[in-house]
């Protein structure tokens, strides 16, 4: 605007002055204007140059800081991971994949027999295949390959490692708070009272009678059977009581083998492994992954603690608490009617409304048509004639005696043989039948599909 005014003034002056004077002044003014314009543009360029330089330097500084910080964080994260992985809790939970067998891990039957000759008793002739079993070490699972023409029984894997399992499956000993101890004692008293008083909501009376099994008749003495499977809460009460009594070795031995969720099943079951037994949401679900020995320990504990309680009087004393014999289970499951195929009476697994009558796998793909993706709560579905819930389905229940029992079987040895009855959430309808085949004959280790319920005998003292 200033230049425009100067030019207008020059033109006005030129109109009243000689031509040469006006031209000289105009030239001088125009030249001065160009000089001022060039100086201004140079200043602008120099300013832009400094701005670009400062920006580049700042960007380089920020990049350097970020690079240095990233390396520092990575190193710190690695240090934390290293500390965490070396902690006792991490060693306990960490699952190490088995190593592939090599020449150092091959063991012959002669070497195995030298270790423990009794281990070969369960071997049966099979095709000449090399089979692998797991030997459990304190911090590593090692694959050992056996050369020979034999295939071991499934339980051999666990029998072989029984003397090492206390180290491999070591369980951390927790410290209970005063509130936890108080709550445990309260629930323990509730369990003792229900057992001593034979509360009908907890224990069903099974009268003496006869039952048919594999086409032959057998007599069964009267007994009481737990209405529901042993729950997580009941079993935790047992474990906590062992802690309170400082019976730590028994606690570790009786603790459920939670790793069986992922060892025995395909798919993602880590949530069940971490939460199923300990989370309050599963308090009233059946306890699983308990070994046969641990279930027997539970029975012995409940018998002893109830016998010592104030709820047992002089006219009624507790004789024993145990796992049922297969014939007892068969009689109880049938509701006293040997013609029943399933505990609910009919030959079908659905009722008239199309609802399933038990928690099981309707087909081999484990179709959860009833909404139960694993186990279901104890006390669900309809009870049988004796008032027993989930006697078939939900979990296969531990019994003494295999499903191959006949009248020609040695009854004494038969009563000691481990088996299960009733099938579970992983099994098809065939295993739910009262006389169905047992897919878990001989298994004594924990399994996500195996639980238990107890039976007992009461004897009145003579007056």
Q: Give the whole-angstrom CA distance, residue 50 versus residue 53.
A: 5
Q: Give the whole-angstrom CA distance, residue 141 versus residue 214.
A: 42
pLDDT at residue 444 in the model: 96
Helical axes 178-196 vs 232-244, angle rounded to 10°: 120
> pLDDT digit string (tens) for 122-145?
333 332 322 233 232 233 233 333
> pLDDT digit string (tens) for 309-352?
888 875 556 678 999 999 999 999 999 998 899 999 888 888 88
Q: How many Cα atoms sit within 13 Å of 5 on the Cβ side?
A: 2
Q: Give the whole-angstrom CA distance, residue 418 versus residue 421.
A: 10
Q: Give the whole-angstrom CA distance, residue 336 versus residue 255.
A: 35
pLDDT at residue 7 in the model: 65
Digit-by-digit pLDDT tens for the chain (463 residues) are 656 666 677 667 666 655 554 556 655 665 665 555 555 555 565 666 677 777 777 777 766 666 655 554 444 444 434 433 443 333 343 333 333 333 333 444 444 445 544 444 433 333 232 223 323 223 323 333 333 333 333 333 333 334 334 433 578 999 999 999 999 999 999 999 999 889 999 999 999 998 888 888 888 999 999 999 999 999 999 999 999 999 999 999 999 999 999 999 888 889 999 999 999 999 999 999 999 999 999 999 999 999 888 888 755 566 789 999 999 999 999 999 988 999 998 888 888 888 888 888 876 544 444 444 689 899 888 899 999 999 999 999 999 987 776 655 555 555 678 999 999 999 988 999 999 989 999 999 999 999 999 999 866 554 4
Q: Give the whole-angstrom CA distance, residue 243 versus residue 167.
A: 19
pLDDT at residue 69 in the model: 55
């Amino acid at each position: 605007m200033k230049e425009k005014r100067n030019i207008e003034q020059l033109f006005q002056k030129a109109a009243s002055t000689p031509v040469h004077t006006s031209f000289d002044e105009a030239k001088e003014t125009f030249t001065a204007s160009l000089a001022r314009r060039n100086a201004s543009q140079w200043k602008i360029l120099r300013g832009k140059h400094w701005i670009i330089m400062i920006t580049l330097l700042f960007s380089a500084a920020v990049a350097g800081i970020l690079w240095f910080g990233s390396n520092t964080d990575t190193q710190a994260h690695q240090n934390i991971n290293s500390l965490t992985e070396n902690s006792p809790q991490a060693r306990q939970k960490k699952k190490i994949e088995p190593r592939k067998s090599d020449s150092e891990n091959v063991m012959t039957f002669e070497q195995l027999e030298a270790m423990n000759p009794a281990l070969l008793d369960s071997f049966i002739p099979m095709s000449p295949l090399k089979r692998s079993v797991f030997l459990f070490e304190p911090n590593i699972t090692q694959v050992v390959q056996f050369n020979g023409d034999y295939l071991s029984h499934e339980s051999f894997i666990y029998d072989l490692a029984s003397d090492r399992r206390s180290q491999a499956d070591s369980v951390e000993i927790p410290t209970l708070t005063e509130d936890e101890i108080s709550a445990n004692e309260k629930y323990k008293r509730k369990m003792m009272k229900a057992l001593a008083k034979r509360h009908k909501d907890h224990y069903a009376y099974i009268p003496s009678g006869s039952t048919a099994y594999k086409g032959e008749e057998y007599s069964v003495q009267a007994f009481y059977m737990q209405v529901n499977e042993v729950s997580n809460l009941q079993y935790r009460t047992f474990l906590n009581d062992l802690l309170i009594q400082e019976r730590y070795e028994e606690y570790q031995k009786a603790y459920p083998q939670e790793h069986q969720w992922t060892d025995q099943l395909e798919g993602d079951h880590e949530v069940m492994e971490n939460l199923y037994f300990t989370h309050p949401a599963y308090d009233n679900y059946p306890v699983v992954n308990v070994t046969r020995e641990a279930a027997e320990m539970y029975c012995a504990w409940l018998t002893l603690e109830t016998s010592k309680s104030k709820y047992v009087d002089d006219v009624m004393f507790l004789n024993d608490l145990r796992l049922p014999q297969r014939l007892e289970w068969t009689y109880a499951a049938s509701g006293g009617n040997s013609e029943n195929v399933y505990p609910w009476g009919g030959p079908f697994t659905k009722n008239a409304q199309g609802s399933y009558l038990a928690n099981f796998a309707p087909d081999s793909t484990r179709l959860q048509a009833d909404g139960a993706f694993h186990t279901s709560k104890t006390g669900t579905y309809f009870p049988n004639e004796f008032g027993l819930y989930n006697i078939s389905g939900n979990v296969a229940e531990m019994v003494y005696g295999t499903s191959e029992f006949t009248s020609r079987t040695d009854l004494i040895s038969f009563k000691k043989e481990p088996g299960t009855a009733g099938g579970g959430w992983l099994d098809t309808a065939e295993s739910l039948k009262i006389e169905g085949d047992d897919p878990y004959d001989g298994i004594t280790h924990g399994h996500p599909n195996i639980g238990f319920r107890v039976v007992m005998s009461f004897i009145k003292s003579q007056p």
